[in-house]
Structure 1
Amino acid sequence: MQALASNAGGAHRPVMPDPRPYSTGASQSELRAYNERLLLTLLHQGGALPGSEMARRTGLSSQTVSVILRKLEQDGLVLRGESQKGRVGKPSVPMGINPEGLFSFGVKIGRRSTDLVLTDFRGGLRAERQLRYAYPQPDDVFEFIKTGIEDISADLSAEQQARICGIGVATPFDLWRWHAQVGAPKSSLTAWRALDPTIEIARFSPLRVFVINDATAACRAEHMFGASSRWRDSIYFFIAAFIGGGVVLNHSVYEGGMGNAGALGPLPSQRADGSNCRLLDSASIRELERLLNEADIDPRALWEQPQDWSAFAPQVDQWLEETACALARAALTTCAVIDFQAVVVDGVLPRSIRQRLVDRIREELPKLDARGLILPDVQEGQIGPHASALGAAAKPLIAQYLLDTHAGFTATS
C-alpha cells in the first residue's frame, strides 16, 4: 500500500494502487501490492490462517509473507489470532481479516425498491435502509441515498468514517426500458436514460463509486459470503421482480467485457401452455404478481417483511411449479455452453419457498434430454433479499483491495 486516505479528523485508511493491464510490465511496488491483494483474498476466502500455510498456498516465501502480514496488520486490515500450541515446533499464529479494517456502502436501485447498506471488511451488515415505490424516480432515489449515507455515517466514529472505501451501486441495465413491465407510464422512467449514478452520487459524496449490474452484484455476494465458492464454475439465478443471474468462472465472478455477463432473463423459455416467451416472463416474481391480481389479491403482500406467502398458497404452488420447470430448462441450456459444476438459486423469496423451488428443479432436471451434457448440482443460495446490495458493497472492496481473476491487472472503474 502506497498511500493513506485521511479525513479532516486525521483518521485514515490504507490505499492500494490500481492494478495495471496484463500486457504491461509491473514495477516492484506493483508486485508488492499484488501480493498484498493475494493474501487478503486468501484470508477472505479461507478464513484465518498462519503465515506458513499462506506461504504454502501462494508459493511466496515465508519471509515475504511475514513482511506483508506485518504491513497489513499495521494498516489495520488483518488481526492476529491466538497462538495455536501443541504442535511440533514453535506455536503458529493465525491471521484473519479485521472487520473494522474497511467499510463500504452498497446501493441496490431496483424496479420496486432501493436498498442501502453499510458492510464491514468481512461482509457483516452494519446498517441498512430501504425505500419502496411503485416505480423508481431519480430525484426520490438519490435523495434517499444521500440522506441514508449521511444518517449512517453520523453513527460512525471518525476512524470508521475514514475507512469507508467507496460506494457500490447495483442497478438493472437500461432501467428506463422497463416501464411496461413495472406498470409505469413510459415518460416516468425516461430520466434514467441519460443518468449516470456515478455523477449523481458525486454531487453529494466524495467517495469513489462503482456501478455493477444488479443480478451480477447478487452473484458476487453469494460467491463472497455464501457457499458457492466451493465450485470452480457455477451459474447463478436470482429471482426478484425480474429474474437475473451471474456467472462464476475459475472461482471468480465473470462480469463480461460490457459488464452484462449472466443476463439470463432474455433466455428463450416456455409458458405452461407451451407458448414461447423469455425466461423473465416465466420465472420472475412478476408472474406471481399477475396470478395474485387475477385472484383479486393485492400483490404488495409479496414484498412485506418478514415475508410470508402462506396466505396465497394456491397461486404460489402454481407459480413454483412453472418456475421450476423453466429454470431446469434454462440451467441445462447454460450447461451446453460451459459445463458448470453447479446451479445456484436464490432470490427475494421466503426461505421455505426457495427450498421447495430448488427441490423441484432437482426433480425436473433429470427428466430433460441431457444427452451430451453433464448435469450440474442444484443448490440453494444463502444470502437472500439483501444479495444485490451486499454484492454492490463488495465491489469497492474487490476493486481496490482483493484479487479478481477476470480483471487481472486491468484498471478499475
Structure 2
Amino acid sequence: MNSSDVGGRSVAEAGSGLLRGTNQSGVRAHNEKLVLTILGRSGPLAKSELTRRTGLSAQTISVIMRRLEADELVMRGTPQRGRIGQPSTPMALNPNGVFSMGLKIGRRSTDLVLTNFLGEVIDRAARTHRYPDPDQTTRFAHEAIAELTGRLSKSEQSRIAGLGIAMPFYMWSWAQALGVPDETMVGWRTADIRGDLASRYEFPIYLENDASSACAAEVAFGQSNGPDDYLYFYVGYFIGGGVVLDGALFTGPGGNAGALGPMPVPGKDGRTCQLIEVASLSELERQLAKGGLETSSLWESSRDWEVDPDILENWIASAAAGLAHAITAACSVINFSAIVVDGWVPVAIRARLVEAVKHELGSLNMTGLETPEIREGSVGADARALGAASLPLFDRFMVDRSAYQMTPA
C-alpha cells in the first residue's frame, strides 16, 4: 500500500517527514492506525524505526505491535542481522489481515474487486452493458459479492472491512452522451445503490465519484516517491480526474472537485469544445463504429486492444492536444508540480498518450507558468475499483480521514 503521503499532513512533524503519535491513554486507536499507515506506506519496518518515525516510546510501540499481531493485522518478517547487537525483526502488514471490496459502476461495464490489506486484487467479477441500469447493477452487485465472498473461509469473511462504490455522479444526465433514450437512465435519479447494499450487509458501504476514486487509488497505492501536488486524469468512457494537494485527495465541498471533463479546449475544427469530447474513450469508440469496426473489446479488457492503427493514432493526437490545453489552464490556477495520466487503456497506449501530451505541451505558450512533469499513472485500469476498495481500509485502519470524502452507511 505504497502511498506518497496518505494520512500525512495533520500528523506530520513539519519539515521532518515524521508522523507523530501521542502517548496519552485516550488515543489507542489513533496510534494503532498511525503504525498501520506507516507500514502500509513504507513496507516492513523494525520496531526501532517505527519508534523513530512516530515519536512514540519504545514501550508504547511494543504494546501496539503485540496488540496488532494478536489481531493478525501485522506479521513478523525474517530477522535482519546488523553490524552489531541482536538481529531486528521487521514487522509488516498481514496481507490476509483485512479484506475489502470495490464496486466500479461504469458507463460500459461494472466490476467488483476483492482486495487484501496491501491493496492487491485477489478476485474479481465483471460484466459489460450497453448502458448502466440501477436494478441490474444492484443484482450484479449481490451476485458478485456472494460469489467472491463465498470463496473466502469463514474467518476471512469476518475480516471484510467494507465495500466502496465508485460511480459517476448525476448518472441520469448522461443518456444523450451514451446514445440512449432519456427514459433508460431516469431510474438513476431515485436509485440508492449504497442504501440498498447497506440494508443487506453487515459491513459498511462507502460511496465516491468514480474519477475521484481512481485518483484516490493513485494516492493510496501509487509510487511512494510520487509528487505531493498533482492533477490527475483518468481516461475512461468519459475522461475525469482529481486534484491532489499536500499528498491528499481534495474533493471539495460537493465531492466533485477535479471534474475535468467539462473543461473548454480547442476542438479539431478550431471551435471550442469540452475535453470530454476529444479525450474520452467514447470518442475512440465512435470513430471505430463509424468505420464499421467492432468496439466491444474496448470494454472487455484493457490489457491489449486490436484496433485500427490510424484511428488510434488520430485519437491519441486529439486527446493529447485537448489534455495539453486543459493542463495549461489548470496550472494557471494551481502550480501543479506534476500531471498524472492513467486510464482504462493498455499500458503501451498510455505511454504513447503521455509522450504525445508532452509534445503538445511543449508547443504551447507557457510564459509565466512552470511546466509540470507529465507522468504515467502507476495503478492502471483498475484504479476506479481499487480506489473504491481503499475507502473502507483508510477509514477503518489508517489515519487522516480528511484525505477522502467518505460517508459510511
TM over 0.5: yes
Cα distance between partner residues in 2 of 1:411 and 1:55: 32
**Structure 2 residue identity aligned to 1:158:** K
Give the stretch that moved more between structures: 29-38 or 133-142: 29-38
Matches within 5 A, 1:6-405: 30-227=26-223, 230-305=226-301, 307-404=303-400
Label 1:124 to 1:65 Cα distance change in 2 as closer, same or farther (>3 A): same
RMSD: 2.2
Check the 8 A contact 2:162/2:203 in 1, yes or no. Answer: yes
Give the stretch that moved more between structures: 111-120 or 300-309: 300-309
SS of equivalent to 2:308: helix
**What is the CA-CA distance between 1:216 and the residue it aligns to?**
1.0
Check the 8 A contact 1:107/1:393 in 2, yes or no. Answer: yes
Label 1:339 to 1:55 Cα distance change in 2 as closer, same or farther (>3 A): farther
Label 1:34 to 1:135 Cα distance change in 2 as closer, same or farther (>3 A): same
Give the stretch that moved more between structures: 340-349 or 29-38: 29-38
Cα distance between partner residues in 2 of 1:58 and 1:372: 40
**Structure 2 residue identity aligned to 1:293:** A
**What is the CA-CA distance between 1:408 and the residue it aligns to?**
9.4
**What is the CA-CA distance between 1:269 and the residue it aligns to?**
1.2
* Aligned residue in 2 for 1:4: none
Label 1:308 to 1:165 Cα distance change in 2 as closer, same or farther (>3 A): closer
SS of equivalent to 2:185: helix
Q: TM-score, normalised by structure 2?
A: 0.90
Cα distance between partner residues in 1 of 2:325 and 2:73: 44
**What is the CA-CA distance between 1:262 and the residue it aligns to?**
1.3
**What is the CA-CA distance between 1:366 and the residue it aligns to?**
2.4
**What is the CA-CA distance between 1:27 and the residue it aligns to?**
11
Check the 8 A contact 2:248/2:404 in 1, yes or no. Answer: no
Label 1:317 to 1:97 Cα distance change in 2 as closer, same or farther (>3 A): same
**Structure 1 residue identity aligned to 2:400:** D
**What is the CA-CA distance between 1:102 and the residue it aligns to?**
0.4
Cα distance between partner residues in 2 of 1:91 and 1:248: 40
Q: TM-score, normalised by structure 1?
A: 0.89
**Structure 1 residue identity aligned to 2:68:** L
Give the length in aligned residue pairs: 390
Unaligned runs of 5+ in 2: 1-9, 12-21
SS of equivalent to 1:108: strand
Label 1:72 to 1:307 Cα distance change in 2 as closer, same or farther (>3 A): closer
Check the 8 A contact 1:215/1:246 in 2, yes or no. Answer: yes
SS of equivalent to 2:80: coil
Label 1:161 to 1:29 Cα distance change in 2 as closer, same or farther (>3 A): farther
Label 1:333 to 1:404 Cα distance change in 2 as closer, same or farther (>3 A): farther
**What is the CA-CA distance between 1:88 and the residue it aligns to?**
2.6
**What is the CA-CA distance between 1:236 and the residue it aligns to?**
0.8
Q: What fraction of aligned residue pairs are identical, expressed as a percent?
A: 44
Unaligned runs of 5+ in 1: 1-20
Check the 8 A contact 2:103/2:389 in 1, yes or no. Answer: yes
* Aligned residue in 1 for 2:18: none
Cα distance between partner residues in 1 of 2:381 and 2:36: 27
Cα distance between partner residues in 2 of 1:382 and 1:307: 15
**Structure 1 residue identity aligned to 2:180:** A
* Aligned residue in 1 for 2:5: none
**What is the CA-CA distance between 1:226 and the residue it aligns to?**
2.3
**Structure 1 residue identity aligned to 2:69:** E
* Aligned residue in 2 for 1:9: none
